[in-house]
Chains A and B, each alone.
Chain A
């Protein structure tokens, strides 16, 4: 009889652990640092994230797992934490995304006087949860990781004290998210009741021979679990919180939610559908396909209807477009339910998510730059950006074209191609056509924004004389930059350009067995 004590592979769990430990360190350090030295906390956070990212290197073989069940024969081999290739890629995405978010937070913290210690602690805690999630292989760890990633996010959204919009956004986000979590927990408990296990691989086994009397329970469990994750991905009909939350939250937090928040949802969805519920593919695959079609259509149509002169329309547009992008990300997951080789289809989602993370954060970084001089952050504020800040305008144009999938954003184009080919491969022709129409709708508004960047500023003054002299004066003011913001934009742009030159860097995930 073997020991019941599970051995811990500290190296394998290093990425989330380092992040969490640094987060706690910041919380403690915040108590002892004088007010003037608070910016130091940010650099500690950045260092922590870089360290956590570096700790992925020893794991590249992708064959480690820990917290495995020992003892009884039936349970042997089921692990709660696995550092396979899928885990590593998503952890890279999460940590890289958090790093970019951190870089673009510096100036915002200074400008809007956010409490630095709390901000960095919450950001890193959430990142730790998000890094834990792709590695979890049992439902309990999965839900815990999901909550560790989400709870700090509520606080981050509401961090702007005294701003009613920020508080309202946080409340909206909190209430709808908690409901979803409750539903997930209920579903997980049903699944546990039906199969007697929480480990994903064993659930997959167990679901193939459920006691007929428990069949309804198992089905309900599967459906309810999925609902919770669909909420995190902001899929229709769980998307309504997105625009208000993004517009109300501090800008870096909106960027964080749009990338990491989504990555969390997708990772959970992939793990639950492909690893735990493959035998129910005939149920969840069509549902996800319909969900994908609805999500991308709702997001893109709403983005199309954004008025460019409305307050915070830039962030709102990015918010709605991120709903649309979530729809594209769902397509390969749905296709995985039809395809013989699910992991290839999953790879398309991963490749797309990596592309999306880099360029979307880049777009948010430029938005943060512009927001420093035009706090209203309307799309009309971007008029003539090329004349004032050519490099920032070129970068934003590049990011938007990547999101749209047009050359020179080659990586965006090929990421869409992998998604399309996953759909066609799985025989989901109708979904590919719906997506094609959506791509064109999205092209329209991305391109319109891009065109605004390069429009002459003088022409803008002529056309916009009615908007009032106050805003005109603001537009003339030179943009205030900050070094960290520039670094964030440059980092995102370098990643985007490198990927456009060598798309293989991310697209190879689309041809590999990740799980």
Chain B
């Protein structure tokens, strides 16, 4: 078990180095580019297999206990230890990361984004995977920070080198915002480490803030919170997200939305709640308020983008919808109740699956049409994807419906639980305020439903595509036809669809894992 977890973090790094070296003679494919892309698929596949094995070997009766732990001293001078472990909170995120990265590698094997050599692309993808997995697996504050920073450089280059229009600007905004936040976060983490006497998350969580004065906790939560909120992203610190997403290549968007944003919310649950409970309590109402505003703001922007004639970009629209969805996650965390935090963790996973799928779909549409501009796509009548590419249209409709939180699909439970928890927040939090936030969040779900249905109507429905005067989009194929879902696309998307349905129908599978761990984190780590 220990070796499994350590391997999950290390294998992608080794794979990244191997990707840069020339391929061994036996593994040279017909073409070196394909060989290196296949190498990426192999390594991410191995990591996925390892993480599934880890999940299978995980003691599901005791999800609150840290399992598969490794604890080695690394830098005694600073008291930094290589402390790894998984519990019910981090396990689903680990598996999600491994799965999404594998699907991205698979997708790029068949559909490499336009840009320079795939060698660097695969190496960066693997470093990104390693950093993300490490973020969820480490139990040392400094290591967490290191892993948090490790994803920046690869993501920057993925956007700046393989991205679309406006990529330089998008990449810069992404990295500068996140860096600004994370440096502030570093100060907060150091403050906790120095005042608490250790950087070990488990030990600090067991103390439950008893070793930290009220002022320390408030300052630390403010500093750490800013760093995590930029990453999450929380309104009004979200403005890097739409640019980065719009410019990023498809796999970049999928990973950015699917797992990178989760690092922020995971940090809230893992660090802020158990280690500085008083500080978390002090800031919970503000966090909730920003989250509620974010939900409404995100959906209003989406609604504006979805309007006819607004020149809304589909990628940008989904990016803004992420702001709304992550708002639910933050709201759930801010209630400081087990229900809310469980809901937040559930919504985390659901958002990773659904938004990952949506970005894949939009990427596929953009590849086919050469644009993701809604107006160009749909023209006056609508793009009529149902008629021209029924499977693609069906999947898009499925993704949209899942995203708006239809009961029975993954999107429903997390947001329902978050709102439910804000109906009855933790003791000491102002109930009327949280009731207001709940109402705002409810309004947000309505608006979300509205814009997603508008999108479905404009993209999937519409004229029969014969093109009589008001042809919506430019005819993409050589003979004006539109390729439907290809096999490799099916392979990459089916797992996401299946998991969305399973998580929607059987939420207990996930909640059963997270709940004991959450109860423990909120209740003093014992």
The answer to whether B187 touches A407 (Cβ under 8 A) is no
User: Which chain B positions have C-beta within 8 A of A351?
Assistant: 77
User: Which residues of B have CB within 8 Å of A421?
Assistant: 78, 190, 193-194
Asked if A109 lies at the interface with its beta carbon under 8 angstroms from chain B, I say: no
By beta carbon, the residue of chain B nearest A504 is B75
- A window 378-395: CB within 8 A of B: none
Judge whether B153 and A407 touch: CB under 8 Å: yes
Is the beta-carbon distance between B186 and A511 smaller than 8 angstroms? no
Binary contact track A408-451/B, C-beta < 8 Å → 1, others 0:
10100110011011001100010011001101100110010001
Residues of B within 8 A of A447 (CB): 156, 175
In the complex, what distance in Å separates the CA atom of A454 from the CA atom of B187?
31
Query: Which residue of chain B lies nearest to A438 when distances are taken between CB atoms in the complex?
Result: B183
Report if A503 contacts B (CB, 8 A).
yes
Q: How far is the CA of A436 from the CA of B152 in the complex (A)?
A: 17
What is the distance, in angstroms, from B340's C-beta to the closest C-beta of chain A? 31
Contact with A along B72-96 (1 / 0, CB 8 A): 0011111010000000000000000
Q: How far is the CB of B350 from chain A (nearest CB, A)?
A: 30
Q: Bound complex: CA of A406 vs CA of B183, how far in Å?
A: 11
CA distance A414 to B190 in the complex (A): 12
Query: Are the CB atoms of A420 and B187 closer together than 8 Å?
Result: yes
Residues in chain B near residue A511, CB distance under 8 A = 76-78
Q: Is B262 an interface residue (CB 8 A)?
A: no
State whether B149 touches A406 (Cβ < 8 A).
yes
The answer to whether B187 touches A456 (Cβ under 8 A) is no
Contact A433–B187 (Cβ < 8 Å): yes
Tell me which of B160, B161, B186 contacts A420 (CB under 8 A): B186
Give bound CA distance, A503 to B193, whole Å: 18
CA gap between A173 and B383 in the complex, in Å: 70
Report the minimal beta-carbon distance from A401 to chain B, rounded to whole angstroms: 7
B180 within 8 A of A: yes
Shortest distance from the beta carbon of B455 to any chain A beta carbon, whole Å: 35
Q: Is the CB of A436 within 8 A of B75?
A: no
Please indicate the chain A residues that have their CB under 8 angstroms from the CB of B160 in the complex.
451
Q: Is the CB of B75 within 8 A of A507?
A: yes
B143-190 with Cβ < 8 A to chain A: 146, 149-150, 152-153, 156-157, 160-161, 175-176, 179-180, 183-184, 186-187, 190
Any B CB within 8 A of the CB of A483: no
Tell me, rounded to whole Å, the shortest Cβ–Cβ distance linking B169 to chain A.
13
Assuming the contacts A440-B179, A511-B77, asked whether A417 and B153 have C-beta atoms less than 8 A apart, the reply is no
Would you give the shortest CB distance from A328 to chain B, in whole angstroms? Answer: 13
B296 / chain A contacts, CB cutoff of 8 Å: none
The answer to whether B374 has its CB under 8 Å from any CB of chain A is: no
Would you call B186 and A507 a contact (CB within 8 A)? no
Q: Taking the complex as formed, is A209 at the interface, i.e. its CB lies under 8 A from any CB of chain B? A: no
Interface positions of B from 173 to 213, Cβ below 8 Å from A: 175-176, 179-180, 183-184, 186-187, 190-191, 193-194
Query: A454 contacts B74, CB within 8 Å?
Result: no
Contact of A408 among B74, B120, B153, B193 (CB under 8 A): B153
Asked if A424 and B190 sit within 8 Å, CB to CB, the answer is: yes
- Once bound together, how far apart are the Cα atoms of A401 and B149, in whole Å? 12
Q: Are A406 and B152 in contact (CB under 8 A)?
A: yes
Are B157 and A454 in contact, with the CB atoms below 8 A? yes
A413 to B179 alpha-carbon distance, docked (Å): 13
A510 near B: Cβ within 8 Å? yes
CB of A508 closer than 8 Å to a CB of B: yes
Judge if B142 is at the interface, Cβ distance under 8 Å.
yes
In the complex with contacts A406-B149, A417-B186, A440-B179, A507-B77 CB distance below 8 A: yes
Interface check B25, CB cutoff 8 A: no
Least Cβ–Cβ distance between B510 and chain A, in angstroms: 31
Residue among B75, B131, B161, B184 making CB contact with A503, cutoff 8 Å = B75
Is B116 on the interface with A (CB-CB < 8 A)? Answer: yes
Closest residue to A416 on the B side, CB-wise? Answer: B186
Quick one: closest A residue to B131, CB to CB? A407
Shortest Cβ gap from A359 to chain B (Å) = 16
- Taking the closest CB of chain B, its distance from the CB of A48, in whole angstroms, is 33
Q: Which of A183-232 contact B (CB under 8 A)?
A: none
CA distance A439 to B142 in the complex (A): 17
A436 vs B190: C-alpha distance when bound (angstroms): 12
Cα distance A424–B153 when bound, in Å? 27
A79 → B minimal CB distance (Å): 29
State in angstroms the CA–CA spacing of A454 and B150 once bound together: 18
B187 and A432 within 8 A (CB): yes
A413 proximity list for chain B (CB < 8 A):
146, 149
For the complex formed, measure the closest distance between the CB of A434 and the CB atoms of chain B, giving whole angstroms.
Answer: 11
Give B79's nearest chain A residue, CB to CB. Answer: A511
CA distance A509 to B77 in the complex (A): 8
Per-position 1/0 for B364-384, Cβ under 8 A of A: 000000000000000000000
| Inter-chain contacts of B219 with A (CB < 8 A) | 429
- Mask of B257-287 contacts with A, CB within 8 angstroms, 1/0: 0000000000000000000000000000000
B152 near A440: Cβ-Cβ < 8 Å: no
Cβ of A292 to closest chain B Cβ, rounded Å: 16
0 or 1 for each of A477-515: is its CB under 8 Å from B? (1 = yes): 000000000000000000000000001100111110000
CA gap between A443 and B152 in the complex, in Å: 12
With a cutoff of 8 Å between Cβ atoms, the chain A residues found around residue B75 in the complex are 414, 503-504, 507
Given contacts A451-B160, A508-B77, contact A407 B190 (CB under 8 A): no
- Is there an interface contact between B184 and A436, defined as CB atoms closer than 8 Å? yes
For A397, the closest partner residue in chain B by CB is B153
Least Cβ–Cβ distance between B198 and chain A, in angstroms:
13
Closest B residue to A432 by beta carbon equals B187
CB atoms of A443 and B179 under 8 A apart: yes
Q: Which of A408, A436, A504 is close to B77, meaning CB atoms less than 8 Å apart? A: A504
Contact indicator B183/A436 (Cβ below 8 Å): yes
Of all chain A residues, the one with the shortest Cβ separation from B116 is A456
Judge whether B176 and A444 touch: CB under 8 Å: yes
Contact between chains at B78 and A510 (CB < 8 Å): yes
Considering the chains assembled together, what is the distance between the CA atoms of A351 and B77 in angstroms?
Answer: 11
The residues of A that contact B191 with a CB separation of less than 8 Å are 424
Q: Give, as a whole number of angstroms, the nearest-CB distance from A408 to chain B.
A: 7
A439 touching B183 by the CB < 8 A rule?
A: yes
Distance between A113 CB and nearest chain B CB, rounded to angstroms: 39
Residues of A within 8 A of B131 (CB): 407
Q: Which residues of B contact A510 (CB under 8 A)?
A: 77-78
| A510 to B, closest residue via Cβ | B77
A418 and B78 alpha carbons, distance in the complex (Å): 7
CB distance from A303 to the nearest CB of B (A): 16
Q: Which residues of B contact A436 (CB under 8 A)?
A: 183-184, 186-187
Q: Complex formed: what's the CA distance from A407 to B13 in Å?
A: 13
Q: Are A425 and B194 in contact (CB under 8 A)?
A: yes
- Is there an interface contact between A424 and B187, defined as CB atoms closer than 8 Å? yes
Minimal beta-carbon separation of B317 from chain A (angstroms): 29
Given contacts A417-B190, A424-B194, A451-B160, contact A407 B77 (CB under 8 A): no
Q: Which of B180, B183, B186 has most A Cβ within 10 Å?
A: B183
- With A406-B153, A436-B183, A440-B180 known as contacts, the answer to whether A504 contacts B74 (CB < 8 A) is yes
- Distance from A413 Cβ to chain B, minimum over Cβ atoms (Å): 7
Least Cβ distance of B291 to chain A in Å? 25
Quick one: given A406-B149, A436-B187, A440-B183, are A417 and B116 in contact (CB under 8 Å)? Answer: no
Of residues 48 through 84 on chain A, the ones whose CB sits less than 8 Å from some CB of chain B are none
Q: How far is the CA of A405 from the CA of B131 in the complex (A)?
A: 16
Task: Rank and list the top 5 A-B pairs by shortest CB-CB distance, nearest first.
Answer: A507-B77, A511-B77, A407-B150, A436-B183, A508-B77
**A-B CB contact pairs (8 Å), 20 listed:** A406-B152, A406-B153, A406-B179, A408-B150, A414-B142, A417-B186, A418-B77, A424-B194, A432-B187, A436-B184, A436-B186, A436-B187, A447-B175, A451-B157, A454-B161, A504-B76, A507-B78, A510-B77, A511-B76, A511-B78
By a beta-carbon cutoff of 8 Å, the part of chain A in contact with chain B is: 351, 401, 406-408, 410, 413-414, 417-418, 420-421, 424-425, 429, 432-433, 436-437, 439-440, 443-444, 447, 451, 454, 456, 503-504, 507-511
Beyond known contacts A408-B150, A414-B75: 17 more, CB 8 A cutoff: A351-B77, A406-B149, A407-B146, A420-B186, A421-B78, A424-B187, A424-B191, A429-B219, A436-B186, A440-B179, A444-B176, A454-B120, A454-B161, A503-B75, A508-B77, A509-B77, A510-B77
